A and B are shown apart, each in its own frame.
Chain A
Amino acid sequence: MADPMRIRAQAAGDKATIRVLMSHEMESGQRKDGTGKTIPAWHIQDVTATLNGKTVMTAEWGPAVSKNPFLQFTIKGAKAGDKVGITWKDNKGDTRSDEATVT
């Protein structure tokens, strides 16, 4: 199973800044292995962010997002104590969900 994400959710005023690090190879599909065979693309495809269970953002990613991806965005109206959830799914169907509390 994939390693956990690191999610930081910090409230400032009436918004919260969310910073996420995900543990993923993000293989580009452009590289070749030692025998000259192309290493197939393996990357996070879908990202969903929730605030207290309600979806606030979705994203679609290609293989050009860097390895161990970083994502930052801002949720309006989020305050300390709220729960921010992030779920990703990759093109092999592997998925990972983690949650953080806004501080």
Chain B
Amino acid sequence: MKKIALAVGLVGLSAIAFAQKSSTDSIAEYRQMLQDGNPADLFEAKGEGLWTQKRGPKNASLEKCDLGKGPGVFKGVWVELPRYFADTGRVQDLESRLLTCMQELQGFDAQEIAKTPFGRGEQSNVTALATWIAAESKGMKLNLPQDHMEERKMYEVGKRLFFMRGGSHDFACATCHSQDDKRIRLQDLPNITKNPGAGNGFGAWPAYRVSNGQMWGAQLRLNDCYRQQRFPYPIFGSDATIALGVYMGVNGKGGATVAPAIKR
């Protein structure tokens, strides 16, 4: 009899504990359980291999690619992107810069890759490369340069784009991402106008999306934000996407990066 009473007592206790645990706590627990064993590792490994592999019409590797800190440097470059590149005369993010390198060094057609749907052909290689390069800056602090006039102009443009309401639903980026402690459904929404939200948000992509089992680079992340915002399709590597990258990354200055992350 005693034994049964004790067992009942325990069951009762755990039921109360469950009731008191909020959905937010449970979701946090769920996310914690996924941290060990992030399939982004698979893409990271693929990207690392692609960097040294001789490929493309010129049968060359990417080892001489300049991502902002000189040819061949991949450690720490990601926390300083997007930045201005004198050779192209453009502010570029990681993915658009990888296209430049794939074209210049390997002879691929950058425009062709930019037009390729995400996850297909060379696009999936760009994502894998971006995943690996971001991982090589994991834990470092965002430190985007704002010395060049083009970089400063892009920040200003990014800010305007961030607040631009439009589409069928009148949404702007700011509709969801300009307040603290808000969520959409059960997902926390980072406040991207300042830290910690800007660093946490911007510094998490590329990320593995468990909902569809895909690796998403920053370009696809933005692309899908715009899709949900009911805007037209942002062209891969376009100045609008890069300006937003500058706006988010500069707002996130000093935030430690966690990319490649694992996300819902």
Contact = CB atoms under 8 A, between A and B. Distances in A.
B230 interface: no
Nearest to B36: A19
B39 A68 contact: yes
Contacts of A26: 213
Nearest to A6: B41
A3 B36 contact: no
A6 B42 contact: yes
B213 A21 contact: no
Contacts of B41: 6, 21
Interface in B101-138: none
B37 A3 contact: no
Contacts of B46: 3
Interface residues of A, number: 14
A23 interface: yes
Contacts of B36: 19, 72
A33 to B, nearest CB: 15
Contact of A3 (B42, B208, B213): B42
Q: Is the interface of A mostly helix, strand, loop or mixed?
A: loop
A53 B71 CA distance: 43
B123 to A, nearest CB: 16
B213 A67 contact: yes
A70 B45 contact: no
A3 B41 CA distance: 12
Nearest to B45: A6
Contacts, number: 30
A70 B42 CA distance: 11
B45 A68 contact: no
A72 to B, nearest CB: 7
Contacts of A4: 42, 45
A73 to B, nearest CB: 12
Nearest to A19: B37
Interface in A2-26: 3-6, 19, 21, 23, 25-26
A66 interface: yes
Given A6-B42, A21-B42, A23-B42, A70 B213 contact: no
Interface in A67-81: 67-68, 70, 72
A68 to B, nearest CB: 4
A72 B45 CA distance: 19
Nearest to B42: A23
B167 to A, nearest CB: 24
A70 B208 CA distance: 13
Interface of A: 3-6, 19, 21, 23, 25-26, 66-68, 70, 72
Given A3-B46, A4-B45, A68-B39, 7 more contacts: A21-B39, A23-B39, A25-B213, A26-B213, A67-B213, A68-B42, A70-B37
23 contacts: A3-B42, A3-B46, A4-B42, A4-B45, A6-B41, A6-B45, A19-B36, A19-B37, A21-B37, A21-B42, A23-B39, A23-B42, A26-B213, A66-B210, A66-B213, A67-B39, A67-B213, A68-B208, A68-B213, A70-B37, A70-B39, A72-B36, A72-B37
